[in-house]
Amino acid sequence: MKNIKLVIFDLDGTLVDASPAITSSFNYTMRKLGYPARGRYSILRAVGWGDKNLLRPFVKKEDLKKAVLLYRRHHKKALLKGSRLFPKAGALLAYLKNKGYKLAVASNRPTRFSWILIRHLKLTKYFDYVLCADKLKKGKPHPEIINRAMKKLSARPQETVYVGDMAIDVQAGRRAKVKAIIVTTGVSTKEEIIKERPYRLIGKIRELLQLL
């Protein structure tokens, strides 16, 4: 791809595997509220829309506010034990930064917890801008999060790629008129991703180097 200046990344499932932290915090919340624990697959299939939407299908409406508070209280510690970078993700970011690309994060994960991840995994030095859906009226698949990152870093759509792991990342990229590259390490199935027609589909994040 020629003339790319800005690479925007999703976090969970793309650069970072935080699934142990998510499942731990989720089932802690269920236990505290008297709900049954859930299996890893059913929990992670609800990921990607923010923590409130993660919990909403599993608790009564009147319990949702308390569930979010319990989840977040647990999660700020769980992330320090149950998150890791995908192999070569750090080396990829270092390479892109050294080559002069602008790098940004656009995530539906709340800002507070995105920064816990970024700082814990020592990624702060790589990113020129971090934006999360709780700072916006609408999260992904709405394109605002990508559009704002482009505006902040003075990049046009044809100079930008968005790298994510879910079907909603393809949708957000298409609506922002940027190329969406999807890595199959997240919670969307390959069939769900292909249905949305991403620009490219890769198996591991390090394969991004072959495209840029």
Q: Are residues 77 and 27 in the same domain?
A: yes
* pLDDT in the model for residue 2: 81
Domain presence at residue 36: yes
* Together in a domain, 106 and 11: yes
> Side chain identity at 65, as an amino acid letter?
K
117 and 170 in one domain? yes
Measured N-to-C along each axis, helices 144-152 and 167-175 cross at an angle, to the nearest 10 degrees, of 60
Residue 77 lies in a domain: yes
Q: Which of residues 63, 81, 99 is at a domain's end?
A: 81
Domain boundary among 64, 81, 98: 81
Q: What is the pLDDT of residue 117?
A: 93
Asked whether residue 32 falls in the same domain as residue 130, the answer is no
Q: Pick from 56, 45, 14, 57: which is nearest to 169 by CA?
A: 14
Q: According to the model, what pLDDT value does residue 45 have?
A: 81
Residue 1 inside a domain? The answer is: no
| Contacts of residue 60, Cβ cutoff 8 Å, sequence gap at least 6 | none
Q: How long a stretch of residues is the chain?
A: 212
118 and 133 fall within a common domain: yes
Per-residue pLDDT at 156: 97
CATH number at residue 68: 1.10.150.240
If asked whether residues 57 and 93 sit together in one domain, one would say no
Kindly state whether residues 121 and 184 are assigned to the same domain: yes
Can you give the pLDDT at residue 52?
87
Domain count, the chain: 2
Which structural domain, as residue segments, surrounds residue 154? 6-17+84-210
Cis ω on the peptide bond leading into residue 36 (within 30° of 0)?
Answer: no
Q: Are residues 54 and 146 in the same domain?
A: no
User: 20-77 pLDDT, tens per residue?
Assistant: 999 999 999 999 999 999 988 889 888 877 788 899 999 999 999 999 999 999 999 9
Give the domain-ending residue among 81, 111, 133.
81
Give the span between the Cα atoms of 80 and 93, in whole angstroms: 21
193 inside domain: yes
79 CB-contact burial (10 Å; exposed 0-12 / middle 13-18 / buried 19+): buried
102 & 187 share domain: yes
Co-location of 97 and 199 in the same domain: yes
- Is 133 among the domain residues? yes
Domain assignment present for residue 43? The answer is yes
8 Å CB contact between 85 and 16 = yes
Q: Does 204 reside within a domain?
A: yes
Asked if residue 181 and residue 99 are part of one domain, the reply reads yes
Residue 195: inside a domain: yes
Q: Do 31 and 98 belong together in one domain?
A: no
Q: Which residues of the chain have pLDDT under 70?
A: none
